[in-house]
Chains A and B, each alone.
Chain A
Amino acid sequence: MRDVAVVGFAQAPAVRETHGTTNGVEMLVPVFHEVLGNLGLAKSDIEFWCSGSSDYIAGRAFSFIAAVDAIGAFPPINESHVEADAAWACYEAWVKIQTGEVDLALVYGFGKSSAGKLRRVMTMQLDPYTVGPLWPDSVSVAGLQARAGLDQGKWTEQQMADVAVRSRADAKSNPRAQLKGDYSAEDLLAEPYLADPLRKHDCAPITDGAAAVVLAASDRARELSERPAWITGIAHRVDSANLGGRDLTTSPSTVGAARDAGFDKVDVAELHAPFTHQELLLRQELGLNGTRINPSGGVLCGNPMFSAGLIRIGEAARQISSGQADRALAHATSGPALQHNLVCLMEGRD
């Protein structure tokens, strides 16, 4: 296997609504400028580009093609796209580097969630025969999972509120966060239910955003970064599409992906948990006791669809590059109620 590291990361501010198009160009141009500028790279240095986005978020076909304008794709570039969170584009780029064809790749994701009704758009990912036609929305589906854990004593509403409080407090040091500040669990629990058993603080906000990560192989990574975040393992697995056939209080796919990636112990974890109970579930499943969780504030403080998972990889890598951690875990999720999960493990080498 070739050594591959995350050497660069930038993200657009996470905001409730941007005024641009749904093709992401306005958000991506400054992100590319920042991530390439910080590394002293030109776009012509990038040997492979890979993006993650969704036409259902954009409300138009082939929206990722329009986004390529943000790169400047002439002369022609080596490019690919996944209709999934860009964490999966990162996986593809990692594989591409493993083939030996390229040494330097840029991964990006974007989504203007505010253009449509997000919780309804997300219904399109459900079984289109027996579930989708009923139009269950993404918040309700998460509510089914939250209640299952509450009923079984796997977590409490107090613990869920505590997750929101900690996340918003941590986000105070994240200039790109959408929600931040000091709150008390007592106050949050006094709020009414949004979709019983979920309150507003249990749900990630609706966010427009974009992000980019640069991956480099061995010597190229050492040239570009003083302390590259070396990827020691990356893997993803999926659980059944049949919601009622899963135990929603567990996540075998996360556990399997972590095992495949070689997970042992980390200093910090960035978890892609758009609902408070999902962080509690992931912590339990991965056994992350005493591990620093989501120093960025996580997606509860900014959830740009289709780049939020990639941002977990970027944030975890930043913990290593800045010397604050030696070993980090980044997790990304896709599908209803944590159906599909990716784990990326990184380490610093001194």
Chain B
Amino acid sequence: MTTLSAPLNVEFDYTRSLGPVLGRFMTGLRDRRIEGIRGDDGRVHVPPVEYDPVTARKLTDWVEVASAGTVQTWAWVPEPDEGQPLTHPFAWALIKLDGADTAMLHAVDVPGPEHMSTGMRVRVRWAAEPVGSIHDIACFEPGEAVETEPTQGEPVTMVTTPVRLGYTHSASSEEARYLNGLLEGRLLGQRCPVCQKVYIPPRGACPTDGVPTVDEVELPDRGTVTTFCIVNVPFLGQRITPPYVAAYVLLDGADIAFQHLILGCDASEVRMGMRVKAAWRPREEWQRSLANIDHFEPSGEPDAPFETYSQHL
């Protein structure tokens, strides 16, 4: 079985509003000060929680805690990953700061696991340029608290947290046949063995019958516009100047339409039932992509009767 796969890198910079509790905590970090919040049972939570975990009451009693504390537990990281606080091996630890009753998770910078122990004393190593994020604590290091020069500024209300995840995206064997066909300028669909419908692109399973589509069907590069819309709205990344037409094209012999671009006539001339043919890009530009068809354009044939595509809308 030949399969196709490609890297799929998902990235997004989440911008999150912090609200009064986390906003005050992050403002404190930016100013090199750590503040916790007292719960109804008297416990001081660091990082602060908005509501008491037991009574669910809104909490407002702030308590400044020390920038040094005690390791409660730890785990060693031999190969740091992207985005973690340190690029060389380090320990994750839950650290209970002096004056706090809960522990916070952060990195501890020591040369090796033999330098780590539960109960050891660690202190904050502040980031050189604090911005109001958990990264304002660069990491922890062995030792006791030292005096720091407080800074001040506007309250921190937002935090940006970039997310980057890498995947290997695989096509199904049916999709792989379809994509390889496109590389040769062929349009390959598959027929469901139960309902006999022809799908292009072929599916891993017929969405009606839940069985794999198996019989290959080569389809012509002409068909019928089943429905369409005229795009009048400009947007970022748009490659064609509006107005233009995005349409569903039902290839002759297919039972499912796909979306494509209609050019070669005025947008106002496009209509349901219009017969169209593919305008292929030059062969040397072909890839495993339906973009090998640059667009569809009127074929000049008479319009298809409504009954021929009424079941495919």
Contacts of A151 in B (CB 8 A): 73, 118
Query: In the complex, A22→B168 CA distance in Å?
Result: 9
Q: Are B94 and A244 in contact (CB under 8 A)?
A: yes
Q: Are A72 and B171 in contact (CB under 8 A)?
A: no
Q: Are B82 and A21 in contact (CB under 8 A)?
A: no
Contacts of A289 in B (CB 8 A): none
Interface residue tally for chain A (C-beta within 8 Å): 59
Q: Are A117 and B165 in contact (CB under 8 A)?
A: yes
Contacts of A117 in B (CB 8 A): 81, 165-166
B45 in contact (CB, < 8 A): yes
Closest B residue by C-beta to A142: B75
B78 in contact (CB, < 8 A): yes
Closest A residue by C-beta to B91: A196
Contacts of B135 in A (CB 8 A): 133-134
Q: Are B208 and A116 in contact (CB under 8 A)?
A: no
Distance in angstroms from B133 CB to nearest chain A CB is 7
Return the contact of B172 from the options A25, A56, A242 (Cβ within 8 A): A25
B113 in contact (CB, < 8 A): yes
Q: Are A135 and B82 in contact (CB under 8 A)?
A: yes
Q: Are A148 and B73 in contact (CB under 8 A)?
A: yes
Q: Which of A123-131, A224-232, A302-310, A327-335 contacts B (4 or more CB under 8 A)?
A: A123-131
A186 in contact (CB, < 8 A): no
Distance in angstroms from B261 CB to nearest chain A CB is 24
Return the contact of B53 from the options A56, A242, A248 (Cβ within 8 A): A242
Closest A residue by C-beta to B160: A133
Closest B residue by C-beta to A245: B102
Contact A26 B49, CB 8 Å, known A19-B3, A116-B167, A148-B72: no
Closest B residue by C-beta to A70: B205
Within 133-171 of B, Cβ neighbours of A (below 8 Å) are at: 133-135, 159, 161, 163, 165-171
Query: In the complex, A73→B227 CA distance in Å?
Result: 23
Return the contact of A129 from the options B16, B167, B209 (Cβ within 8 A): B16
A3 in contact (CB, < 8 A): no
A189 in contact (CB, < 8 A): no
B231 in contact (CB, < 8 A): no
Q: Are A244 and B167 in contact (CB under 8 A)?
A: no
Contacts of B74 in A (CB 8 A): 144, 147
Contact flags (1/0) for B1-39 with A, using CB distance below 8 Å? 101000010100010101000100110000000000000
Q: Are B8 and A240 in contact (CB under 8 A)?
A: no
Q: Are A69 and B94 in contact (CB under 8 A)?
A: no
A102 in contact (CB, < 8 A): no
Closest B residue by C-beta to A248: B73
Give the most central of B49, B94, B96: most A CB within 10 Å.
B94
A288 in contact (CB, < 8 A): no
Query: In the complex, A135→B92 CA distance in Å?
Result: 10
Return the contact of A130 from the options B22, B77, B96 (Cβ within 8 A): B22
Q: Are B165 and A134 in contact (CB under 8 A)?
A: no
Closest A residue by C-beta to B47: A130
B263 in contact (CB, < 8 A): no
Contacts of B172 in A (CB 8 A): 20-21, 25-26
Return the contact of A72 from the options B53, B168, B207 (Cβ within 8 A): B207
Contact A195 B94, CB 8 Å, known A69-B210, A115-B170, A244-B103: no
Contact flags (1/0) for B156-196 with A, using CB distance below 8 Å? 00010101011111111101000000000000000000000
Distance in angstroms from B6 CB to nearest chain A CB is 12
Q: Are B53 and A195 in contact (CB under 8 A)?
A: no
Contacts of A245 in B (CB 8 A): 45, 49, 53, 102-103
Q: Assuming A22-B167, A134-B134, A242-B49, what are 8 further A-B pairs, CB within 8 angstroms? A: A25-B203, A72-B205, A74-B208, A129-B159, A130-B47, A143-B92, A147-B74, A248-B73
**CB-defined A-B contacts under 8 Å, sample of 14:** A20-B170, A68-B207, A69-B210, A72-B205, A73-B208, A115-B167, A129-B47, A134-B107, A139-B75, A140-B75, A141-B75, A142-B75, A144-B74, A144-B92
Q: Can you list the 8 inter-chain pairs with the closest CB atoms, starting with the nearest?
A: A143-B75, A72-B210, A244-B103, A59-B167, A25-B204, A196-B76, A135-B83, A148-B73
List chain A positions with a Cβ less than 8 A from chain B.
19-23, 25-26, 29, 32, 43, 56, 59-60, 68-74, 114-117, 120-121, 124, 128-137, 139-148, 151, 193, 195-198, 240, 242-245, 248
